[in-house]
Structure 1
Amino acid sequence: MKEKSILIVEDEMIVAMMIKLKLIEMGYKVAGHAVSSEQALLMVNENNPDLIIMDIYIKGNLDGIETALEIEDRCSVPIIFLTGDSSNETTTRASFAHPVGYLQKPFMDEELEYVIESAMHKHIAQTRDAAIAN
């Protein structure tokens, strides 16, 4: 499963670089790094990632939740939300985008690895269940 590609959508460069280095160390391919909603939407179309790590508060015309909803309308790419905001309002809004996981900033390397592995398995199970239902 480690050959999967992951798109990072994060406008804080230090956080993005830390995630990128950890993903490479874990054996994943980094499909790209977007800093805005517009850039993220382009990269999803161009790079066809297997997973997206999306900060909820990003630059651009859309925030991370709105960008995730737009991506969901276009294709089936699982999304892990990354945020420093754990308020009920934010998590409730985020739930409408059907994320496969959440990472609360700041996070430990082990948490990143666990959330990615769980998200990949959850997405495989959801895809399988949807195929069986049809």
Structure 2
Amino acid sequence: MNWIISGALVLTTIGTIVSILMLLRYRPIRGAYSVSLRHFTLLLLVYITVILSFSNLYLGLELLGFEVLKEGNSHVEGTVNHLIEDIIYFSAVTLLSVGYGDLVPVGIGRMIAMVQALFGYILPAAFVVTSVLQVTKKEE
């Protein structure tokens, strides 16, 4: 069972890296508007991929026995569905903001949450940079 969870963790990490590289290498279709609906859709898909990848990472560590999240002063408890729900919520809040404080990372979860928050700041910047570079190349 641990091999399956470890394999899933590796695959989600690779998926996150590939999604970010896709965003950086994406070139919008040339036309009247250099930033297209396709570009925004790609950004949305990258956000969803990163949220679900980090959720899978948190869940995998929880299932391997590492304490990653606390709710209040106690370990996140409840059914597996509740755990998945809490982890996806925490992952989305960490990526899209700095967090609300209702779920708090502990142990290795702190390092992972810092990396995820960094991705949350880098993704919009990468989106803008790729868009501006395309406009600049188009004008030359």
* TM-score, with structure 2 as normaliser: 0.28
Higher Rg of the two aligned structures:
2
More contact order relative to length (CA 8 Å, sep ≥ 6): 2
Name the structure where strand makes up a greater proportion of residues: 1
